[in-house]
Structure 1
Amino acid sequence: MSPSGHRSILIVGAGTTGLTAALELARRGFRPRVVDRDAGPVPLVESRALGVNARTLTLLSPSRVSDAILQEAHQLKRFRIVSKNRTLVSLDTTRIPGAYGALYALAQGHTERLLIGALSNYEVAPEWKTSVEKLSLDAAKPHVTLRKHDGSEEVASFDIVVAADGAHSAVRRAIGFGFPGDALESSFYLADFRYTRDIDPNFAEINLVDPGMIGRLPVERDVLRYISTLADFESRIVHPAPVAERVWASDFRIHFRHVEAMAKGSVFLAGDAAHIHSPAGARGMNLGIEDACWLAWLISEGREAEYSSLRMPAVMTVLKQTRQLTSMITMHNPLSITLRDLVVPVLFRIPAFSQELLRGVSGYDTPSPPWIDGAQ
């Protein structure tokens, strides 16, 4: 172990971002401590995030987690946007250079469990039902009060604290960071249905019903997720097979928010603790994993002070893309809808345009990881 490996590191949050940070640090000789206020990983049937992109698979290849993901995931080979029974966009997502396809479908709960399994190889395990009660930057090191599952408190100092504790981050609030941004006025709704037989898991589709949309995403071979801006969307679904059960349903509002800087002193923010945005393009979980990998590498290089300046441009790139995609599928103005339906098919017939969008979906529109040879 290198001398830097002796630095004490606390990771707050054991979702995909926090677990990835722990894994990337552990395989570089560090022994991070990971805490999470929940009782365990996200339930398998309640996973909001589904998409795993090519950039994430590249980043997780040194730890071999990408191999495990590919064994369980379904590749999304086609993506369609349909309006009034007319196909506006038909994108072949396999037409991207590199070792991986652009996007794969795997529920977040599965991904978290694969990360936990890989982390156990380094004898590191999340401490569940453990939360941050206080954090102070007054001393030379971040001073943290932890409340454990039995109600007892532990006070400790750490060389580095990584906040991966989600959109309502306690660490972000403790260091006095705001979370400016805005939310869409309308709510989004989702429901997962299990069918009596397997369905095609290799394509995703957005059906524009103007105003509003209904999206279809594969979860498993016999489970589809529908996501919509319409409260009554379930009555509009054309199911591809007899329904066995309605597995899960939820609703949410889309926010576009980000911190002004992703670090303060020795406290670093990653994933939803630093930025949240629309699920359009499936960038949320993937961007958090990217944050975690970059931060772990920078810590190992003694360059963690560069983290915020290196990551903020990538965050702004993704927020811009997801806002544009969301605007395209949530239009209400009839004139704008007509114009969109005329222009979008023309744009996608331009190879450079469709390839650029595909690069974004793949996650290749942000800087390549310099520690992985041949990465795009």
Structure 2
Amino acid sequence: MAAMSGGVDSAVAAARAVDAGHEVVGVHLALSRMPGTLRTGSRGCCTVEDSNDAWRACDVLGIPYYVWDFSERFKEEVVDDFVSEYAAGRTPNPCMRCNERIKFAALLEKAIALGFDAVCTGHYAKVITDAEGNPELHRAADWAKDQSYVLGVLTHEQLSHSMFPLADTPSKAEVRAEAESRGLSVANKPDSHDICFIPDGDTRGWLEERIEMTEGDIVDPEGNKMGTHPGANAFTVGQRRGLKLGTPAADGKPRFVLEIRPKENKVIVGPEALLAVDLLRGIKVSWAGLPIAEAGTGEEFDCMVQVRAHGDPVDARARVLIGEDGKPEMVASLLEPMRGVAPGQTMVVYQGTRVLGQATLDTARSTAWDPSAVS
């Protein structure tokens, strides 16, 4: 089964699966509850236009094409989760949730039930099988387009049924050239970006319609009031613009959001230097393939940590502990501070090119200041 987003990557991935001799069926996921939604430039995805583009690609490839309506599950698993996470003062990654719960849970589950062997997608990532036949997730050949980060939530079983035909492609330009040579109309279609269910890119305005906002205080790391805000939930760690502070900083330099406390309805701001964190703690730990030996022993292991899809990985020492709730937690000490990390983001852990697994950040802090000083 080829997951057809309507973009150039999924179209070429499906074409390569056909060339490899597989029996391929194209499926487009209808995720929007607004069927009249139209794509604007490179914003958004999963629109009527994308569905039509996916159909045209399947027609050129000579493979069957279906549209599956996953809009209800998408709303529950991705959109509602996004709102609830922001309401709790965290910064979620909806693309991770979509890959985890829709594209590689709901879709793969249905595909296997229907007798398919694997789901093929246009992600830039690689599945390598070890000597014992176990799948491992690795970075793609083109690190600039590598998407292994957003696939870090995949399990051993899911990787066993996943195909990424673009894994060894050296560049996106080559994919576009191949699409054009195959007569695929999406060859020069712009990449989608931003959050697909917020196509205008105004996340704050979108959230304000769904989360009750109450005016509260903006304070500095010592607890001094710097101004007021219309609602803490609409802010994100690292944010600089839109703070509208009434009291200027003593050094005249801009301030950034350091922490959000929705229960107290406070936004804590401070100098840019305090955005650098060196200690991360993640919950909801999962392993991409079989877990490493240290996962069960609590021993420290060397790794690299990445917290954004296109962020730079940072060397770290990590270990897995059992939390107060009896569930595993991953704690990582960064050898080099990372800037502007927020609870709710996903921490993906690598060794070399291999993705070991991931965890959802519950704590991201700097040893340079004590958050408990804010009362």
Q: Could you state the TM-score of these two structures normalised by the residue count of structure 1?
A: 0.24
Q: Could you state the TM-score of these two structures normalised by the residue count of structure 2?
A: 0.24
Kindly indicate which of the two structures has a greater share of residues assigned to helix: 1
Larger relative contact order, structure 1 or 2 (CA cutoff 8 Å, min sep 6): 1
